[in-house]
Structure 1
């Protein structure tokens, strides 16, 4: 019996089989789930050593499965590789840099897969800095719920940093629009 379990959660049978074929032979068992609900059930039941999670899934999305994992201290410790053919949908909900999991764009080659797994294993060992967040774009916490003044200061710093990023992006968009107008005329 294999001592290491890898769970591949993807609605595409082709991807599940491809991942299985790309993994180097070894002492592990590959479990498969075709939707988020089945995947979450297998995560809780089997406690895999690695989770490969598609972001766009039926029944329960990869985003919802990700949230369930992040809201459980035991499940957070499992190395996680998020997979998607549309990275923009991932970063829309989970901003980069991806600190505690690895992302791999579809389609991918064996070398990329192995690199993503290694990176996910290293990231899973990192200590968590803060409690998991339920949504990437969450409403600000009321002051009464935010906790200590240190936590409030951290939140204020994050807001300041995000505003600086937004201002930078607005400037870049303005430059792009100017360039488009110049090229159009």
Structure 2
């Protein structure tokens, strides 16, 4: 039902495994059932929202019981898309496009101004340094994701070349 591009599908048997896959693989899209064993899809979504590099991943939440989902949700569908099961290919593709647009709405984390160290003095406010470290880690995480993506693309190119020999 998904577009026939180079898509790698990762499946999880429950919410805990799904959340761990999301954290380790950082996929380009998350499709999440609302009702999952061990950890509900909604709980997975809430955990994902705690980490900036994860919460910007487009997310489609799905369920066969939309009324139940609406009752349990404490926030509007501002940062994710919802599709009711059963769904057609067109509905799924619309939900994916919608999720991609909504994922871009997440506000950027606040970046403090760089500390101005005069005469080699140590700043008294360690919160500024802590925030700078956090920002650097976020940048490193983003760079690592880009490196991993490039490695995957290179692997596919090499496989393609080997198949042509």
Q: By how many angstroms is 1:97 displaced?
A: 3.8
The equivalent of 1:69 in structure 2 is 48
Stretches of structure 2 lacking an aligned partner (at least 5 in a row):
110-165
In structure 2, the residue matched to 1:39 is: 18
Question: Normalising to structure 2: TM-score of the pair?
Answer: 0.62
CA separation in 2, counterparts of 1:39 and 1:63?
A: 12
The number of equivalent residue pairs is: 109
Q: Who is 2:96 aligned against?
A: 117
CA drift of 1:96 comes to: 6.2
Residue 56 of structure 2 contacts residue 106 of structure 2 at CA under 8 Å; is this kept in 1?
no
- Deviation, structure 1 residue 94: 2.0
User: Which SS does the other structure have where 2:37 is aligned?
Assistant: coil
Distance in 1, Cα, partners of 2:94 & 2:44: 23
| 2:69 is equivalent to residue 105 of structure 1 | no
Separation in 2, partners of 1:73, 1:64 = 16
Unaligned runs of 5+ in 1: 1-21, 131-185
Show the counterpart of 1:174.
none
CA distance in 2, matches of 1:125, 1:37: 26
Matched, 1:27 2:6: yes
Residue by residue, what CA displacement relative to the aligned partner does 1:41-71 show, whole Å, maximum 9, x if unpaired?
1001110000000000001111210110111
CA-CA distance at 1:127 after TM superposition: 3.2
Partner deviation per Cα, 1:11-56 (whole Å, 9 max, x = no partner): xxxxxxxxxxx00110221111121011001001110000000000
- Choose between structure 1 and 2: higher strand proportion: 1
Query: How far apart are the structure 2 equivalents of 1:56 and 1:47?
Result: 22
Q: Does structure 1 conserve the Cα–Cα contact (< 8 Å) formed by 2:62 and 2:84?
A: yes
Give 1:93 deviation, angstroms.
2.6
Alpha-carbon RMSD: 1.7
Q: Quote the offset at 1:95 in angstroms.
A: 4.7
Cα separation, partners in 2 of 1:96 and 1:65, compared to 1, 3 Å = closer
